[in-house]
């Protein structure tokens, strides 16, 4: 099987499993929605400008549900040692890594696709017409989060305290992506031109490249014994 | 035989303290009071901030040492993953621990400096915030090691984390810098440009001393790590021969 | 005390272990293991729990990296050579099924078939499932299967790519009578020629008739290594009992 074929195969397997079991779909959406609702109570958005706090709220919701997705993604493989079936297969283990990143991205993107319009309704905001830019920003930053998150999740899900260790390691490491995500989302929702936030986009892109490359090289070490 | 030292012949050769290590210790021991003298006696008191400015001589070199720890950890981590030799992991672990220690010093001296000068404990100053994030990453590194099942797993996982952390460091600093807007003039903590030459010399002396201190502590910590490994392998051997171990423990007790 | 194994002379061994050691922490799980496995051998790996059988199998499978010594597969070091080519000829059947509960049996086989580069189609998956007597349940999710049926599906999965060397870790555990017969039949038919298997098991009754050689591990060391000819379960138990503790793991009072 070709490298790309393996990546798609692994991602497809995760997607198909999720469609059948619907195990995490509900929890991801509900959890993210809950965070939005809590913030709706916490801040009075008739006084506070949504543009200044809204993107932060959105990304907190995405990041926390992203952690759930990452944990779930590897818990399936840990159960009954299924991951060993993958590890003895004649594939490049980094292809398995990229497949997992792709799957996590799909789930996070699904949550984002629903939550952004929902936030617009909840907080009475007009939705931006700059959909292309919004899509780019969402994808680029979700990719960075998923890239580092998948690497760490592969390690932490082998421990007993994975629920604590994954956020502990991931959140500081993902600070650049979180800052970039919030800032760029804010600019895009405010309808500002690309030049204003271009450097943040380069930062996200650079982050994605660096950590995808690093993870591809390091992933094998995460799963050996 | 209470109070008896283990005679040097009983210690394996590579555990003995080598000559260069003694020289390092003595040099550090001399450098510390010399630097303190330069900081508190020779260097003038800064006009605007007063005596409290002298924290700068400890705050900034500590930051350098934190970065040194992080960088060294990353290099050693790569070496470990490539060669799988235990000694690289020992240095990586020690470097990370020292990185956390010096990061902590930065995070404590920062607010102590800020409070009298600007009236606030936490200024949200870019470098301090980034250093806090770095501190969190390497505390995570140490916690991850503790949660591994065995030494080899701990070393492997830590190596991954150390490399990711070091790669992330410049990106974190850049992103926090952009987030806060560039260098608010009032929050200039580094005291870089326009430094009095006497202050500059004192500062340089401090950097040298802190580096010596770092190396000293690193050597000791690595030595400690190797002794821990030695104890563990002795425990293994004892576990496999429970009865013969009892008769071997002649040592000094039966004399 | 080890007996020399009689392998087919002149054949390139499928597996070669030399002074193999694996240490997880305090005591070694594998201690100075020397082993040769030639094509056509059908080897049972026996010993008490904690003797290192699983560790040896998983090291052979490439899941565990040796602490010292070497383990070559098909003449190559899996940690330095072309791992992918090696893994293509290797199979692993564990007491865990490696199947995805929410996918159907057919979907699981298609997934693994494609993972192994076989281009398996649904029809091909059905054929494989037919061989283990699961043709009528091919489109049911694996989580609806009984334990015995799941294990049979796992057998189909493990044999899909016709491995030259099959590693089995307690394959009979949890199998019903039909499953045991199926596994015995498949092992007899598929491994009569140049292929080999290495099986760790406690079920001597099912496994001994299939074997050509037995190896006994105790505390990480090989204590017995001899052809299985002339051995029955009782004699083997006695032999194991006589050699217990010969590995040096503690002195009996």
- Please write the tens of the pLDDT for every residue from C145-172: 988 889 999 999 999 999 999 999 999 8
| Separation CA A137–CA A121 (nearest Å) | 21
| pLDDT band (50, 70, 90) for residue C245 | low
| Separation CA C213–CA C229 (nearest Å) | 8
Top mean pLDDT of B185-194, B206-215, B238-247 is at: B206-215
* Tokens of residue A28, six digits: 């991801």
| Separation CA A166–CA A156 (nearest Å) | 6
* Tokens of residue B90, six digits: 């020992």
pLDDT at residue C105, rounded to an integer: 93
C-alpha pair distances (Å), C116 with each of A6, C91, C135, C160: 10, 11, 22, 9
| Separation CA B92–CA B70 (nearest Å) | 9
- Report how far Cα A167 is from the mean position of its chain's Cα atoms: 13
Q: Which residue has the higher pLDDT, B66 or C5?
A: B66
Distance from CA of C27 to the nearest CA of B (A): 5
**Mean pLDDT score across all residues of chain C:** 85
Top mean pLDDT of A221-225, B243-247, C229-233 is at: A221-225
pLDDT at residue B55, rounded to an integer: 83
The ipTM value here is: 0.91
- The strands making up C196-200's β-sheet, listed across from edge to edge, are C90-93, C165-169, C196-200, C42-46, C213-218, C221-227
In sequence order, the 6+-apart residues with CB closer than 8 A to the CB of B209 are B28, B31, B32, B34, B35, B61
* Tokens of residue B49, six digits: 């901030």
- Structure confidence by residue, pLDDT tens digits, C18-38: 999 888 766 788 888 999 999
Averaged over B73-91, what is the pLDDT? 94
Check the CA dihedral C24-C73-C116-A218 and report its sign. Answer: positive
Top mean pLDDT of B169-183, B206-220, C42-56 is at: B206-220
- Structure confidence by residue, pLDDT tens digits, C54-109: 999 999 998 888 888 999 999 888 888 788 899 999 999 988 889 999 999 999 99
Inter-residue contact A137 to A48 (CB < 8 Å): no
Chain C contact for A40, CB < 8 A? no
* Tokens of residue B247, six digits: 């008769």
CB neighbours of residue B216 within 10 Å:
18
Q: Which residue has the higher pLDDT, A109 or C231?
A: A109
pLDDT at residue B239, rounded to an integer: 72
Phi and psi angles of residue A146, each rounded to the nearest 5 degrees, phi first? -65, -35
Domain boundaries, chain B: 53-184+206-228
Averaged over C244-252, what is the pLDDT? 46
Axis crossing angle, helix A50-78 with helix A3-21, rounded to the nearest 10: 100
Task: Reduce the DSSP state of residue C70 to 3 states and report it.
Answer: strand
Task: Reduce the DSSP state of residue C17 to 3 states and report it.
Answer: strand
Nearest Cβ partner of A84 from C98, C107, C141? C98
Q: Which residues 125-184 of A are in CB contact (within 8 Å) with C? A: none
Say which residue the tokens 């059948």 belong to. A20
Nearest Cβ partner of B171 from A160, A183, A207? A207
- The strands making up C68-73's β-sheet, listed across from edge to edge, are C28-37, C15-23, C68-73
pLDDT at residue C163, rounded to an integer: 93
- Structure confidence by residue, pLDDT tens digits, B148-205: 988 889 999 999 999 999 999 999 999 998 888 654 333 344 444 456 778 888 888 8
pLDDT at residue B185, rounded to an integer: 37
pLDDT at residue C26, rounded to an integer: 63
> Which of C145, C205, C155, C203 minimizes the C-alpha distance to C179?
C155
| List of chain A residues with pLDDT < 70 | 45-48, 127-129
Domain boundaries, chain C: 15-89+163-243, 101-162
Domain boundaries, chain A: 3-223
The mean-pLDDT minimum among A185-199, B216-230, C237-251 falls in C237-251
Inter-residue contact C40 to C195 (CB < 8 Å): yes
For B151, the closest chain A residue by CA position comes to A225
**Mean pLDDT score across all residues of chain B:** 81
CB contacts of A203 in chain B (<8 Å) are 171, 174-175, 178
For C132-177, the DSSP string reads: TT-GGGTTSBGGGS-HHHHHHHHHHHHHTT--SEEEEESTTTT--H
Inter-residue contact C69 to C19 (CB < 8 Å): yes
Inter-residue contact B179 to B117 (CB < 8 Å): no
CATH class assigned to C15-89+163-243: alpha beta
| Separation CA C109–CA C126 (nearest Å) | 9
Check the CA dihedral B162-B166-B171-B174 and report its sign. Answer: positive
Inter-residue contact C154 to C97 (CB < 8 Å): yes
What is the C-alpha R_g of chain C? 18
Task: Report the DSSP beta bridge partners of residue C17.
Answer: C35, C71
Chain B contact for A207, CB < 8 A? yes
Pairing type for strands C90-93 and C165-169 reads parallel
Nearest Cβ partner of A17 from C61, C100, C116? C100
| Separation CA B168–CA B104 (nearest Å) | 19
| Separation CA C90–CA C74 (nearest Å) | 10
| Separation CA C124–CA C215 (nearest Å) | 36
| Separation CA B188–CA C92 (nearest Å) | 62
Phi and psi angles of residue C227, each rounded to the nearest 5 degrees, phi first? -60, 155
| Separation CA C125–CA B229 (nearest Å) | 51
Inter-residue contact B160 to B166 (CB < 8 Å): no
Pairing type for strands C221-227 and C213-218 reads antiparallel
Residues in chain A: 225
Distance from CA of B92 to the nearest CA of C (A): 20
CB contact (8 A) between residue A82 and residue C96? yes
Task: Report the DSSP beta bridge partners of residue A79.
Answer: none
What is the C-alpha R_g of chain A? 18
**Mean pLDDT score across all residues of chain A:** 89
* Tokens of residue C72, six digits: 């070559």
CB contacts of B160 in chain A (<8 Å) are 151, 155, 218, 221-222
| pLDDT band (50, 70, 90) for residue B240 | low
* Tokens of residue B217, six digits: 């502590």
Averaged over B101-130, what is the pLDDT? 83
- Structure confidence by residue, pLDDT tens digits, B12-55: 555 567 788 888 888 888 888 888 888 887 777 777 777 777 88
Inter-residue contact B156 to A151 (CB < 8 Å): no
| Separation CA B83–CA C231 (nearest Å) | 45
In sequence order, the 6+-apart residues with CB closer than 8 A to the CB of A38 are none
Nearest Cβ partner of C26 from B239, B241, B244? B239
Q: For chain C, how far is it from start to end, CA to CA, in angstroms?
A: 21
Inter-residue contact B237 to C23 (CB < 8 Å): no
CB contacts of A77 in chain C (<8 Å) are none
Inter-residue contact B155 to A224 (CB < 8 Å): no
| pLDDT band (50, 70, 90) for residue B10 | low
């Amino acid at each position: 099987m070709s490298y790309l074929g393996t990546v798609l195969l692994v991602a497809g397997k995760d997607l198909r499993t999720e469609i059948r079991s619907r195990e995490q779909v509900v929890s991801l959406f509900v959890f993210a929605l809950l965070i939005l609702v809590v913030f709706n109570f916490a801040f009075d958005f008739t006084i506070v400008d949504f543009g200044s706090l809204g993107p932060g709220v959105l990304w907190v919701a995405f990041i926390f549900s992203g952690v759930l997705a990452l944990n779930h993604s590897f818990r399936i493989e840990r159960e009954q040692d299924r991951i060993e079936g993958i590890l003895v297969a004649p594939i490049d283990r980094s292809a398995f890594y990229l497949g997992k990143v792709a799957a996590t991205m799909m789930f996070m993107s699904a949550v984002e696709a629903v939550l952004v319009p929902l936030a617009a309704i909840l907080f009475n905001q007009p939705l931006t017409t700059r959909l292309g830019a919004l899509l780019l920003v969402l994808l680029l930053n979700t990719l960075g989060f998923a890239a580092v998150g998948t690497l760490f999740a592969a390690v932490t899900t082998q421990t007993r305290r994975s629920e604590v260790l994954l956020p502990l390691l991931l959140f500081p490491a993902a600070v650049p992506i979180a800052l970039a995500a919030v800032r760029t989302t804010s600019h895009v929702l405010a309808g500002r031109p690309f030049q204003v936030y271009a450097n943040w986009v380069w930062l996200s892109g650079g982050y994605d490249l660096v950590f995808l490359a690093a993870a591809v090289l390091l992933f094998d070490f995460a799963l050996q014994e | 035989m209470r109070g008896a030292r283990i005679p040097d012949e009983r210690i394996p050769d590579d555990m003995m303290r080598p000559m260069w290590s003694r020289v390092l210790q003595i040099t550090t021991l001399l450098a510390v009071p010399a630097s303190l003298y330069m900081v508190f006696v020779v260097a003038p008191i800064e006009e605007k901030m007063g005596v409290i400015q002298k924290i700068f001589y400890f705050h900034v070199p500590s930051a350098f040492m934190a970065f040194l720890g992080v960088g060294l950890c990353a290099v050693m981590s790569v070496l470990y993953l490539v060669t799988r030799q235990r000694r690289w992991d020992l240095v990586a672990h020690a470097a990370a621990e020292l990185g956390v220690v010096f990061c902590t010093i930065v995070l404590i001296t920062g607010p102590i400096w800020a409070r009298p000068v600007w009236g606030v404990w936490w200024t949200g100053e870019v470098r301090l915030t980034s250093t806090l994030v770095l501190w969190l990453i390497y505390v995570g590194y140490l916690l991850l090691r503790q949660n591994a099942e065995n030494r080899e797993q701990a070393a492997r996982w830590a190596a991954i984390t150390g490399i990711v952390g070091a790669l992330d460091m410049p990106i974190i600093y850049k992103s926090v810098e952009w987030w806060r807007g560039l260098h608010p003039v009032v929050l200039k903590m580094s005291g870089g440009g326009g430094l009095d030459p006497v202050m500059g010399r004192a500062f340089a002396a401090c950097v040298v001393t802190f580096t010596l201190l770092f190396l000293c502590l690193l050597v000791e910590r690595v030595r400690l790590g190797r002794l821990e490994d030695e104890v563990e392998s002795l425990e293994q051997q004892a576990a496999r021969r429970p009865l013969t171990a009892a008769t071997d423990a002649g040592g000094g007790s039966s004399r | 005390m080890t007996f020399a194994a009689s392998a087919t002379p002149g054949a390139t061994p499928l597996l070669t272990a030399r002074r193999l050691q694996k240490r997880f922490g305090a005591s070694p799980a594998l201690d100075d293991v020397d082993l040769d496995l030639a094509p056509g051998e059908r080897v049972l790996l026996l010993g008490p729990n904690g003797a290192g059988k699983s560790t040896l199998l998983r090291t052979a499978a490439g899941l565990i990296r040796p602490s010292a010594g070497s383990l070559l597969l098909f003449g190559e070091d899996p940690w330095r050579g072309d791992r992918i080519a090696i893994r293509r000829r290797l199979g692993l059947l564990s007491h865990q099924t490696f199947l995805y509960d929410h996918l159907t049996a057919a979907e699981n086989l298609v997934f693994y078939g494609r993972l192994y580069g076989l281009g398996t189609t649904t029809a091909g998956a059905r054929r494989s499932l037919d061989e283990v007597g699961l043709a009528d349940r091919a489109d049911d999710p694996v989580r609806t299967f009984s334990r015995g049926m799941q294990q049979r599906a796992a057998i189909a999965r493990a044999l899909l790519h016709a491995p030259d060397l099959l590693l089995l870790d307690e394959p009979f555990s949890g199998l019903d009578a039909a499953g045991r017969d199926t596994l015995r039949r498949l092992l007899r038919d598929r491994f009569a020629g140049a292929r080999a298997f290495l099986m760790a098991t406690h079920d001597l009754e099912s496994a001994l008739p299939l074997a050509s050689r037995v190896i006994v591990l105790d505390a990480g060391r090989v204590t017995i290594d001899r052809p299985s000819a002339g051995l029955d379960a009782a004699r083997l138990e006695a032999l194991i009992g006589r050699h217990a503790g010969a590995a040096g793991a503690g002195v009996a009072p």
